[in-house]
Structure 1
């Protein structure tokens, strides 16, 4: 049975279907996911410290073009928290691959934001011909990463990662600190929905979540270490960056050089969280690249 907490916020912006729960392969954790729309499969992968509702502004624009699948990673949002779970990139990539295989999806557009963009790329290298194309928005694969968001993010993330005191800082997350860190991912902080912050705070109060947060932040260097997998991708890849993303131009070009025939798009007046800041462009890129991929096939 799906709890009210796992449904209520999502129902506000997408009342047509309720989220469901799926047990990942090999008796893995239960994850919350939403399926919406009709058409070729599109799997959306969310960013650090968020959940599937990150895409609330783009999913309604995509449902006439795709069957959209989006899920909370294990430990995130309203998915199951497993004590002592591994949140490094290889383990998270395995969850993405298992989600896709569990639903037996093929000819997928695999897209993600931030950490989700990196997972879209590395999972595509594992999934082979199941993936028709990859669209990676603001990949998270450089250091110090989220610490570039603003001074508050730098202080808080360093503190959460620290030995001994880190668990205390992770448990002290407040609405103000979370909003402050997330606003550093936007060109215009007014694009951050206040009720979305409230929802993230609610999920962050679940028993065991502070341990998840600390493990996730400590695992972020593993996303940088995963970059060599990009060279193994066979599907067409489009890299998308906000012009105010945390990444540097040289870091973006280095990614393009790793991926055979990768295309790059830069969004104007957009920060690291493009799905909230430029949802029309986010959706347009996905639909246009899908048309190109279909024509090429």
Structure 2
């Protein structure tokens, strides 16, 4: 079932019943990257898979990542109806979830930040600046293969040609202006001084082979949060929930008691 949240500005798909669980997708993918785990989660939760502002049918917002986080906080409050919410963000969605928790204390009871961080290294910032420059000059097609390498290891790509064709098509549907603006925002972002404001339990996950947000970023993130634990997902890259959905659900099971009971 599709829902419009935050005064009709955020498009989201909803399934299942129970406590609200929000899933926020990465920059280089879309909400379909969660499709393989939603059925398992929906046995225990009311799963709300949102399209971030400027993606799919969600309206874009100006004002950088802070404005995106504010818009998504509005969507969470709208859908949760004042109840407890859990937020799971992958990649860019993890940065949004983290910024949302910093700016809106109490918006979530728990966070799962998969393949994310608090700040990029200088090489990481330069990679975003380069992608934005190439996309502005030649369009998203010029960086599609770079984007796919940031999502999946070469071996995985070779073994899953149909999935990769789908992921390339999804990436090319991204609004180029939104993509470039987000690259600029991530290149400048540093949330490390504010991590102490996140008082809720956080599970930090990262794929062992993630090149987009490498494991040291997650290690730094977990180390700066008051209540965090880190798990490294073996054999996976930037979108572990798509690459190895059963393993991903197993890794988050002990952090989500309701899910553990249903398994």
What is the TM-score normalised by the length of structure 1? 0.74
Matches of 2:84 and 2:50 in 1, distance apart? Answer: 18
Relative distance call for 1:184 and 1:146 in structure 2 (3 A) is farther
Secondary structure of 1:239's partner? strand
Number of the residue aligned with 1:233: 198
Q: Deviations over 1:32-77 (max 9, x none)?
A: 2111111211111111132211211111221101110111111112
- Please show how residues 160-179 of structure 1 align to structure 2 within 5 Å: 160-162=131-133, 167-169=136-138, 172-174=139-141, 177-179=143-145
Where does structure 1 lack aligned partners over 5 or more consecutive residues?
1-16, 148-153
Number of the residue aligned with 2:222: 256
- For these two proteins, the number of residue pairs brought into alignment is 252
RMSD: 2.8
* 1:145 is aligned to 2:124: yes
Contact 2:100 2:107 in 1 (8 A): no
**Which of the numbers 166, 169, 177 marks the counterpart of 1:198?**
169
**Which of the numbers 51, 59, 65 marks the counterpart of 1:72?**
51
- Please show how residues 46-85 of structure 1 align to structure 2 within 5 Å: 46-81=25-60, 85=62
Matches of 2:3 and 2:85 in 1, distance apart? Answer: 20
Deviation at 1:178, TM superposition (A): 1.8
Contact 1:46 1:115 in 2 (8 A): yes
Deviates more, 1:247-256 or 1:73-82: 247-256
Relative distance call for 1:194 and 1:280 in structure 2 (3 A) is same
Matches of 2:232 and 2:164 in 1, distance apart? Answer: 23
**Which of the numbers 247, 252, 262 marks the counterpart of 1:286?**
252
Number of the residue aligned with 2:187: 221
Contact 2:131 2:183 in 1 (8 A): yes
Secondary structure of 1:61's partner? helix
Secondary structure of 2:105's partner? helix
Where does structure 2 lack aligned partners over 5 or more consecutive residues?
none
